[in-house]
Amino acid sequence: MSGVEKINVKVSAIVPLNELVTRFEFKRTDGALFPTFSGGAHTVVEMIDDGLTRLNPYSLMSDPMDQGTYAISVRRDDEGRGGSLFMHNNVKVGDDMVLSNPVNLFSLDLRAKKHLMIAGGIGITPFMAQIKQLDRAHGNWELHYATRNAALGSYVDELTATHPNDVNVYYDDDKNFIDLENLLDGQQLGTHIYVCGPKGMINWVRGKTAELGWPLEAVHYEEFLAPQPGKPFEVKLSISNKVITVGENESLLEAIEREGVDAPYLCRGGACGQCETAVIGYDGKFIHRDHWLEDDEKASGKKIMPCVSRFEGKTLVLDR
């Protein structure tokens, strides 16, 4: 089977945090303990949405040492394909759901002398778990958290109350922005940087650190891409000898799975590389959206990441 080991859970609490973000808490159905995890790990949530199975990754934001409850926070995306809308509109306390075992693609480098965290909006979630992990180990960390305004600042109150000296909050509406260059300038040797937020923020931090000569190994980032809707397209799967149509609101990977073809996956967000698929032939153009393939691989027309990438054109034949 593809993916990772599954855990059956019940929704134990739903806590709206603000206009856009809601926290969902889960308990195990079998009453056993959840596995512990490392800060930065995500779980893949299975949603049965009107016959369509969606598998969306969300960062675990509960205390990694708390084996009684897992929690995620979901930002409603009114423009997306409906995964977050399903969570917000359809999921009720007491519902049965299925989570994957934790997977970490954004773990702390425990050699770091200091962990400098930069969060944008809902990108705060993995840091919630990392902060709890580091606090226990008396780790040295500092958070810079940018969000639109106080009303949308998920967990700002909790963070500033518990860590007044380590948490710095910036509100866009107040024209208060992270002064990145100055921030980086004052860091001690051995500092590692972690950034989670919108693509623009990740690119900004990666670009600035590279310009200032920070080692690549000291800059960590995570951006989950949600698959975007797009025009329907047809695909031939050569190994399983099937022709399938990818609908407007499903990903290529979801369409492959819908047809009963077992395809490998892990993060479903364009980051981990597990679902990489060879292209046998095509006539049209790829819409590559992943972080995994290098630019030359994307240009070669020989590979695609079906979890987030799409295709427009006449024919696409995949080695699957």
Partner 1 sequence: MTIQFKDETFRGDYTYKNSDWAIKRFPFPFHEDSYMYSVNMEQHKGGPEGSIYEKRFDVDEHYLSEMRDRAMVLADDPLRCQSLPHMTLAGWDLLELIMVSKSEDYPDMFELHRDGDQWRWVNKPMGIDDSFTFMDETTLPYGPMEYITRQTQGDFAVLDQRDDNLWMDAGMITTQADWSLDFDIGMNFFEWHAPVPKANEMGIFIRALKFLLNVQQGAPARRLNWTMTVNPLLDTSPENYHKWGVQKTELAPENVGEKQHLRVELQTFFRLPRSNALVFPIRCYLASFDDLMTVPKWGRRLHRVIRDLPEELATYKGFIDNRPMMLDYLSAYDDGKPTSDGIWPDLESEPERS
Site residues for partner 1 per CB under 8 A:
4-5, 35-38, 40-41, 64-65, 101-104, 107, 109-111, 133, 136-137, 217, 266, 272-274
Query: Of 140, 139, 138, 129, nearest to 107 (Cα)?
Result: 129
Q: How far is the CB of 138 from partner 1 (least distance, A)?
A: 11
Indicate the residue among 75 and 220 with the shorter CB distance to partner 1: 220
Indicate the residue among 49 and 276 with the shorter CB distance to partner 1: 276
Indicate the residue among 230 and 270 with the shorter CB distance to partner 1: 270
Q: How far is the CB of 146 from partner 1 (least distance, A)?
A: 26
Please, which residues have CB within 8 angstroms of residue 192's CB and are 6 or more apart in sequence? 108, 109, 112, 114, 115, 116, 218, 219, 220
Dihedral in degrees, nearest 10, Cα atoms 131, 134, 217, 155 = 0
Dihedral in degrees, nearest 10, Cα atoms 83, 85, 90, 91 = 70
Q: How far is the CB of 83 from partner 1 (least distance, A)?
A: 22
Q: How far is the CB of 3 from partner 1 (least distance, A)?
A: 9
From CA 164, how far away is CA 262, in angstroms rounded? 49
Q: How far is the CB of 301 from partner 1 (least distance, A)?
A: 23
Indicate the residue among 44 and 255 with the shorter CB distance to partner 1: 44
Indicate the residue among 205 and 244 with the shorter CB distance to partner 1: 205
CA distances 78 to 44, 157, 232, 250, 305, Å, are 20, 26, 20, 16, 24
DSSP code at position 287 = E
